[in-house]
């Protein structure tokens, strides 16, 4: 068995080819082209098993064949992700191509060394406890990209003897958004679980992908704009190489997962709304832009979670580095499927998100009523999306580049509490933990519903270890306030 670093041993490395005779292609829309050279989205699903199930002989002889068989069946419904992105010399834009001779999904079957103490499965599942950021990277596979092509999906299944296993996925953001990638994983899990009953399981209509690109109307010619931007950024106009990212290699970074329980969110909602009108008056006196929306009866968990965590991150950075001045901004991506006119199918497979920058001032995040101000700004931005969900898309990349040049750190959001990742059961029970590994590529928080499915929110993040210490204190102290 070959070694993967010093922690992991590879049992098998293969490519899942599919039984199709002809070459297929699928165009990329402007939603896809926006993400053409962004880093892959990487997630790991951790599952616990009994001692007997997680014994290597049983796992590799019984569970792995079931996972592989169901994967093969599922990929027949999701053929494009078994191909790659190409940009041929005779094509004005890149596109998805599946060649049955060469293409397929890369799959790694691996095992943690039983004698290796560096990886503790139970500690990986803990909350509020930071661990070295690079540790999670042992469980997600590499996604190939060059100037001429980019792979779309790769998968790694890793056994933790006597504990459980993980499924790590790396997916190209120019082909799959969060909703699409979760649809695929749910379809795979559903097929795997159904193999006990039938050899030819069918998918629920909601898990059957719709690939029709004709439903995406490019009235603003965004496609031409994004192709031009990527051509200008690269010295090689047709490069598909993923842009390098140095943050993930920083030695001082740690990863942790926190939870806002339902009762915490109710407290935060009451706290923010109790100061809503007072803060509005204060902002007016400071001649800051007036909020366009009236006071709501209740704020969403998304607004409360993002505002609270963004404020804690900003304050933690300031506390850990008091001699340094930070400039923060925040933004989030919104699913456009139901917001387009006309709306497109919920099972549309591809990207259909737009990123929105929240109109905040740098000091909003660290001032006394920062939580209320930031919550109001996020709420206001969401309300404005009803007027046009694609608003600002033509200038977004330029704004992000300008903010980076000015030293502004943009806090973003990955994942969603609406994706239902903790419901994904391959027949071995629901996940013990789901982690968005690619959070280490930027200052991004990862959201998911709480694994107990009782209305809470799970938050993953990657920070400098000293900043993480301050964040830990601020996060928990802020939930102990008196109502």
- Measure Cα distances from 318 to 254, 324, 374 in Å: 18, 7, 17
CA 173 – CA 184 distance, rounded (Å):
14
Q: Is 173 a catalytic residue?
A: yes
Helices 370-384 and 301-320, axial angle in degrees (round to 10):
140
**Residue from 39, 173, 356, 472 carrying the catalytic annotation:** 173
Is pTM beyond 0.85? Reply is yes
- Measure Cα distances from 128 to 2, 471, 476 in Å: 34, 10, 10
| Predicted local distance difference test score (pLDDT) of residue 60 | 97
Sign of the CA dihedral running 245, 248, 249, 250: positive
Sign of the CA dihedral running 442, 224, 346, 81: negative
Domains located in the chain, CATH noted: 2-244 (3.30.559.10), 249-477 (3.30.559.10)
pLDDT tens by residue, 328-384: 999 999 999 999 999 999 999 999 999 999 999 989 999 999 999 999 999 999 999
CA 428 – CA 426 distance, rounded (Å):
6
Give the DSSP letter of residue 63.
Answer: I
Torsion of CA 265, 270, 276, 278, to 10 degrees: -140
| Predicted local distance difference test score (pLDDT) of residue 106 | 96
Q: Is 147 a catalytic residue?
A: no
Take residue 379 and report the two structure tokens written for it. Answer: 């709420």
Q: 408: closest CA among 439, 364, 467, 343?
A: 364
Helices 262-274 and 276-285, axial angle in degrees (round to 10):
50
pLDDT tens by residue, 302-312: 999 999 999 99
pLDDT tens by residue, 87-142: 988 899 999 999 888 899 999 999 998 665 557 899 999 999 999 998 999 999 99
- For residue 3, what pLDDT band results from cuts at 50, 70 and 90? very low
- For residue 244, what pLDDT band results from cuts at 50, 70 and 90? confident
Q: 354: closest CA among 394, 387, 383?
A: 394
Residue 176 backbone dihedrals phi, psi, to 5 degrees: -130, 130
Coil, helix or strand for 404? helix
- Measure Cα distances from 299 to 28, 378, 388 in Å: 36, 10, 21
CA 195 – CA 218 distance, rounded (Å):
41
CA 298 – CA 296 distance, rounded (Å):
5
pLDDT tens by residue, 33-42: 999 999 999 9
Helix %, strand %, coil % of the chain (to 5) = 35, 25, 40
| 248 contacts 338 by C-beta, under 8 angstroms | no
Helices (H), 48-89: 56-58, 64-75
- Mean pLDDT, all residues of the chain: 91
Whether the bond into 342 is cis, omega within 30 of 0: yes
pLDDT exceeds 50 at position 1: no
Q: Average pLDDT of 266-293?
A: 80
């Amino acid at each position: 068995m070959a070694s993967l670093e010093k922690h992991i041993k590879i049992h098998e490395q293969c490519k899942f080819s599919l039984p199709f005779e002809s070459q297929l292609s699928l165009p990329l829309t402007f939603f896809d082209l926006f993400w053409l050279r962004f880093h892959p989205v990487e997630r790991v699903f951790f599952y616990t098993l009994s001692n007997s199930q997680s014994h290597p002989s049983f796992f590799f002889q019984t569970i792995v064949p079931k996972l592989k068989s169901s994967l093969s069946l599922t990929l027949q419904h999701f053929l494009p992700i078994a191909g790659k992105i190409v940009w041929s010399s005779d094509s004005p834009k890149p596109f998805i191509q599946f060649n049955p001779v060469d293409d397929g999904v890369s799959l790694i079957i691996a095992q943690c060394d039983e004698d290796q103490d560096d990886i503790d499965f139970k500690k990986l599942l803990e909350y509020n406890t930071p661990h070295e950021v690079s540790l999670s990277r042992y469980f997600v596979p590499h996604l190939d990209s060059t100037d001429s092509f980019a792979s779309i999906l790769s998968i790694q299944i890793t056994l933790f003897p006597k504990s459980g296993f993980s499924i790590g996925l790396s997916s190209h953001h120019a082909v799959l958004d969060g909703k699409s990638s979760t649809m695929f994983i749910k379809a795979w899990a559903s097929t795997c679980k159904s193999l006990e009953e039938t050899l030819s399981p069918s998918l629920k209509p909601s898990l059957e992908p719709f690939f029709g690109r004709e439903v995406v109307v490019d009235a603003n010619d965004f496609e031409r704009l994004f192709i031009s931007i990527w051509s200008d950024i690269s010295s090689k106009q047709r490069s598909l190489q993923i842009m390098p990212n140095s943050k993930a290699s920083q030695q001082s970074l740690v990863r942790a997962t926190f939870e806002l329980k339902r009762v915490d969110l109710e407290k935060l909602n009451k706290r923010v709304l109790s100061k809503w009108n007072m803060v509005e008056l204060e902002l007016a006196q400071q001649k800051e832009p007036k909020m366009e929306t009236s006071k709501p009866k209740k704020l969403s968990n998304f607004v409360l979670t993002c505002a609270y965590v963004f404020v804690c991150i900003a304050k933690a950075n300031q506390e850990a580095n008091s001699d340094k001045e930070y400039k923060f901004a925040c933004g989030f991506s919104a699913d456009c499927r139901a917001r387009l006119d006309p709306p497109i199918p919920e099972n549309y497979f591809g990207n259909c998100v737009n990123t929105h920058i929240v109109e905040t001032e740098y000091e909003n995040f660290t001032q006394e009523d920062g939580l209320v101000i930031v919550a109001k700004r996020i709420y206001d931005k969401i309300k404005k999306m009803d007027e046009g969900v694609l608003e600002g898309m033509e200038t977004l990349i330029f704004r992000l580049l300008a903010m980076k040049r000015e030293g502004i750190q943009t806090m973003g959001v990955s994942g969603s509490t609406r994706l239902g990742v903790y419901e994904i059961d391959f027949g071995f029970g629901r996940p013990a933990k789901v982690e968005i590994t690619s959070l280490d590529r930027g200052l991004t928080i990862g959201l998911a519903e709480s694994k107990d499915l009782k209305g809470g929110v799970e938050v993953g993040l990657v920070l400098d270890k000293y900043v993480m210490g301050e964040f830990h204190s601020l996060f928990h102290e802020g939930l102990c306030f008196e109502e």
